[in-house]
Amino acid sequence: MEIGESHLGNHLVLRPVGRLDNGTSADFQAYLVKALNAAGRDIIVDFSGINYVSSAGLRALMAASRLKPAGRRIAVAAAGQVVQEILTISRFHEVIPLFATVDAANEAWTDKTKPVATRSATPPHPPTVPVHFWGTRGSLAAPLNHNNTRGKIREALMAARDRQLRTPEAIDAFIERDLAFSVRGTFGGNTACVEIGTGGNEYMICDLGTGVREFGAKMMMQHGPARPQTYNVFLSHVHWDHIMGFPFFTPAYIPGNKIRIYSAHRSAREALLRQQSAPCFPVLFESLGATIEFIELETGQNYEIAGFTVSCIRQFHEGESYGYRFTKNGKVIVYSTDCEHKASVLDNSYPFVSFFRHADLLIFDAMYSLADAVSVKEDWGHSSNIIAVELAQLARVKKLAMFHHEPAYDDARIERVLGETIRYEEISREDHKVEVISAYDGLDLSV
């Protein structure tokens, strides 16, 4: 990558040319850090010569910003339309100020005014395996509150003004056609629980977040206590949001039911026992009526379970987390939550690219914006929508379901992130399209 230097007022202007990606980001970061330490002045990075920037490039900029000497400033200016969209989608402007032109940055800093981020336009076969999402939130359950509900009602009524909605059919059509999903519905508030249909007489779920309570209620309505069932559970890890629903899973209390809990964690049994013991819960784990078996898995091995070939991979998350790959009749579903992928290692040699390879559905932890994931929330063990897209493209995934939503995000923000992510997939796509969706409680898919 070529980087030109010039001076404007008291500021050093750097003008890189080309793509800022995995292949160039390390050299760019080193150059930028050296310039920040040597120049003794603020730096404006002129992006007019950059035609594409990946998560690795953004990370390099943010890393340089953190490593700059005290009192030094860095800004980005003159980004083209596509690069500007990428910066906006990644929430980059929350970390480093953006300016429409180099002159605007120079003027703002010369006048000692606070840099203001520029604003960009909002980016604008037969099924064989059913998948149902019972819980999609991360870290903590996040139910709708009074203000959320009132806001949805108000927005719907505003949209209905001057409409001739005289029949139930007209009302239903208006709701489905004219109201955004964030108004007519909700992404939900239950923590992680996903059901993968087996097509047989056993059930299979990933994680035991609060969503498992509703799954259990459905099982009781469907089978009752007199018809024992077998449940295969795959735990990503034993942090509380992924096991907190189990004490409310009614089938666990019914004699005759079998529950097999698969995990690569040796502490899975201990974690479930601890949360269901005094003083945390009134019903002891040992008093549950179902037959509960804990089965420890090993990474790198294939297992035949409930008609699926199952393998697991260790993920980057405090306390260890594991992702699962389920294969049946040529269909591949990957469940990968609570993992932090660093942008600097995303290439075809990265083990997760092979693990995700050709997945028909990738359920992926996209909890944060990239700006959060590489700054204030770095090393928190979660990934971003930008990383999700880049990994899915490398692995040639068919459908990406963003999952483990930030509990502080309301429905409108999750929907906005979805729109931005779809746009980023379009911008960064080379020869393989990835369908991007945002999972919500109650979503049914056929893979």
Other C-beta atoms within 10 Å of 427: how many?
17
pLDDT of res. 125: 57
Query: Residue 139 half-sphere exposure, CB side, CA atoms within 13 Å?
Result: 14
**Structural domains of the chain sorted by starting position, each given as residue range(s) with its CATH number in brackets:** 2-110 (3.30.750.24), 130-144+186-446 (3.60.15.10)
Average pLDDT over the chain, rounded to an integer = 90
N- to C-terminal Cα distance for the chain? 42
pLDDT of res. 330: 92
pLDDT of res. 257: 97
pLDDT of res. 247: 98
pLDDT of res. 123: 45
pLDDT of res. 121: 46
pLDDT of res. 383: 87
Question: pLDDT per position in the chain (447 positions), as tens?
Answer: 899 989 888 889 999 999 999 889 889 988 888 888 886 788 999 999 999 999 888 888 888 887 778 778 899 999 999 999 898 888 888 788 999 999 988 888 885 444 344 444 444 454 589 999 999 999 999 999 999 999 999 999 999 998 989 999 999 999 999 999 999 999 999 999 999 999 888 999 999 999 999 999 999 999 988 899 999 999 999 999 999 999 999 999 999 999 999 999 989 999 999 999 999 999 999 999 999 999 999 999 999 999 999 999 999 888 889 999 999 999 999 999 999 988 777 888 899 999 999 999 999 999 887 777 666 677 777 889 999 999 999 999 999 999 999 999 999 999 999 999 999 999 999 999 999 999 999 999 999
Query: Using alpha carbons only, what angle is made at residue 423 by residues 419 and 425, rounded to the nearest 5 degrees?
Result: 120
